[in-house]
Chains A and B, each alone.
Chain A
Amino acid sequence: MRLFLNAVALRGPGLEGWQASAPILAGKAPYLAAPTLIPPATLLPPNERRRAPQTVKLALAVGAEAFTNADAEPACCPVVFASSGGDGETIHEILATLAGPVRELSPTRFHNSVHNVAAGYWSIATGAKTPATSLCAHDGSFAAGLLEAGAQAVAANGMVALIAYDLPYPEPLATVRPIAAPFAVALLLSPVAISQSLARLDVELCASGTHACAIPELEDMRRAIPTARALPLLEALARGEAATMTLEYLDDLALAVKVMPL
């Protein structure tokens, strides 16, 4: 599957946006550990902003950054959201309430518990009536999202956004499902090169394999956060060099990605 990458956005621990992170990913600036900064969801109207959970704020932040970086309009672009889970805080609160003496749920919390919560708020925020989907492949959710977004771009012959994100669960789920820190990536993909295109990506399925990050702190992140499995691709893009890599997907299947900067 041949794709063109038109913008990248990124937010993770010590990684605050693509512009600030690219020198770190390229090995030209030191990585400095810091908690992930999740900005307020200024795209949303004030009443929705209050009700939006952290998952939504993180996903909207990278989505908005990608469209700004590409100088593109989100209202006309289909979006694929990929995450290894829904909003952990919301799901924990529901589970705790259901296990308690008064089983009364908040209606807002209930609608915020769906996996496609970010997709819903995104379409409200941007006014995009284009298709929005939300998918999960556990630890392989980023790779799955890249397949779905790529296949959509090819089928529609137009630009598609991929927004992938993960946040840690609160306890007790954090113990059984540790996710080290909030982390999100957005890519704008199209099947043909456009003026904004940064690189060509050839994506194929291959037998399982691993491609470690060049920078040790990023490799730790790649192993500890499902969406951070995108980091080897982001490192190659930041270096601006042609590269071939394997992105982890399922136990017996991976993505072979060839990156050709334009």
Chain B
Amino acid sequence: MKPLSISGLSLVSALGDELDATWQALREGRSALAPCRFEDLPIDAWAGEVQGLNEPLPAAFSAFDCRNNRLAARALAADGFAQKVANAIAKYGAHRVGLFTGTSTSGILNTELAYTARDPQTGALPEGFAYAQTHNTHALGYYARARLGLAGPSFTLSTACAATAKLFATAARMINAGLCDAAVVGGADSFCGTTLFGFHALGVMAEGPCRPFDKARNGISIGEAAGFALLERAPEMPEPNALLLLGTGESSDAYHMSSPDPEGTGAAVAMRQALANAGLAPEEIDYINLHGTATLVGDSAEDKAVTGLFGPETPRSSAKSFTGHTLGAAGMVGAAMAALAIRRGFLPGSPHTQNLDPAFASGHLLEGHPAPVRRVMCNAFGFGGVNCSFILGSQTR
């Protein structure tokens, strides 16, 4: 693919608002995970909760008010992102800027609350329940489009935990097909009973904080996050420090709805395609931001796939013990960590990982350290056997 410039990037997670909060935590090796207070789960689960989401959206957007859109609003306001989109609108026109959002559960928490307040006689939902603006998968897209004043093509990808990662591929294709000149990608996933009790039912939720690639790992910790990126065609000669999207790869496991292929075959296909799409060899990748959710099978499959393709030494780590698994928003956490690794020259560690599983390759970083980073591969995999890898870099060669 022709590289695209990433001219705006924002992130909000349990680590805080703005990329700088994430950077401070990466540098200090500080996890945001804490015992889950959000729902009364029957286990000692830890979670990465975003604080301060109790304030409703401003009156002009009150129809969209729900936890997920509040979280999205925070990320649109962070890192000067909304202003960068306003600049893109001024440059290209609102109808030439696409908006491609991603989420797994949108505002379903709002519907969960509405179900507890159903009319005892008729079973009807409470008055004023706003389906399109809160429950629908595209409620996030409707909200972000209204908030940013965009008028270009828009839809919401919902491919479970690979939703926002796949948006980078979608945006590149939409710009390539001439359907828009620039694209906002991003999304949000927030706590709800559906995911907390759902992952608990699957038996993949950790007691205590998640420990990716640890020999004693015992499952995931869920986190909340929202993030956005602004993509535009890159100039022929990008600035040396410009952040670029270099390639994307996608595949399906065709194996099981909620368990990854233990051999990591599909994951390897996505990574190989991302390299081919970027015209890069494996040794040109300096750091791999792993999906690494700390499940027994998932981490093992990813380790096989990554080591098979890159060998044992390429530095690698997962964001999950910093932020928790932020589900559909995980691609934006990956993009933010990749951008920080490149801009700050830093390889992040994995704070709760204490003893690397001896079956795994040596490249896993438990502690962060400074190092020059030119290109980063980010992985995101999800239910339905969906796999996506994308590569960010500071220069094409």
List residues of A whose CB falls within 8 A of some B CB: 1, 78, 84-86, 91, 94-96, 98-99, 103-107, 110-117, 119-121, 123-124, 126-138, 140-141, 144-145, 147-148, 150-152, 154-155, 171-173, 175-177, 205, 249-250, 252-253
Smallest Cβ distance from A214 to chain B, in angstroms? 28
Assembled-state Cα–Cα distance A96/B194 (Å) = 11
Given A113-B198, A137-B138, verify A119-B118 contact (CB < 8 Å).
Answer: no
- The 5 A-B pairs at the shortest CB distance, nearest first, are namely A120-B384, A115-B158, A110-B198, A131-B250, A144-B155
Q: Identify the closest chain A residue to B102 (Cβ).
A: A135
- Which listed residue, A96, A111, A135, A172, touches B158 by the CB 8 Å rule? A135
Tell whether B137 is near chain A: CB-to-CB under 8 Å. Answer: yes
Number of interface residues of B (CB under 8 A): 67
Residues of B within 8 A of A114 (CB): 104, 158-160, 382-384
B197 close to A123 (CB less than 8 A): no
> Which residues of chain B have C-beta atoms less than 8 A from A147's C-beta?
153, 155, 174, 179
Q: B269 contacts the other chain (Cβ, under 8 Å)? A: yes
Please tell me if the beta carbons of B138 and A136 are within 8 angstroms of each other in the complex. yes
B354 at the interface (CB under 8 A from A): no
Contact of A124 (CB < 8 Å), options: B111, B179, B255 = B255
* Residue of A whose beta carbon sits closest to that of B98: A147
Query: How distant is the Cα of A243 from the Cα of B349 in the complex, in angstroms?
Result: 59
Nearest CB in chain B to that of A207: its residue = B95
Choice from A103, A132, A135 contacting B155 with Cβ under 8 Å: A135
B125 within 8 A of partner (CB): yes
Q: Please report which residues of chain B, range 109-166, place their CB below 8 angstroms from some CB of chain A when the two chains form the complex.
A: 111-112, 115-116, 118, 123-125, 129, 131-132, 135-139, 141-142, 151-160, 166
Cα A176 to Cα B159 with chains together (Å):
25
A212 to B340 Cα, complex, angstroms:
51
- Contact B194 A98, beta carbon cutoff 8 Å: yes
Q: Is the CB of B142 within 8 A of A138?
A: yes
CB distance from B110 to the nearest CB of A (A): 11
Asked if residues B136 and A173 are in contact (CB atoms below 8 Å), the reply is no
Q: Is the CB of B155 within 8 A of A137?
A: yes
A164 to chain B: closest CB distance in Å? 12
What are 17 A-B contacts with C-beta separation under 8 Å? Answer: A86-B158, A98-B194, A99-B112, A105-B198, A116-B382, A124-B256, A133-B159, A144-B153, A151-B177, A151-B179, A155-B172, A171-B123, A173-B135, A176-B125, A177-B135, A249-B153, A253-B153
Instruction: Please give me the residue from chain B that is nearest to A137 by CB atom.
Output: B155
Give chain B nearest CB distance to A19 CB in angstroms: 29
Out of A111, A131, A133, name the residue touching B383 (CB < 8 Å): A111
**Neighbour of B254 across the interface among A103, A128, A176, A250, CB < 8 A:** A128
Whether A85 pairs with B125 at a CB distance below 8 angstroms is no
Considering the chains assembled together, what is the distance between the CA atoms of A205 and B160 in angstroms? Answer: 28
Which A residues touch B112, using CB under 8 A?
95, 98-99
B60 at the A interface (CB under 8 A): no
B252 in complex: contacting residue of A132, A152, A171, CB < 8 Å: A132
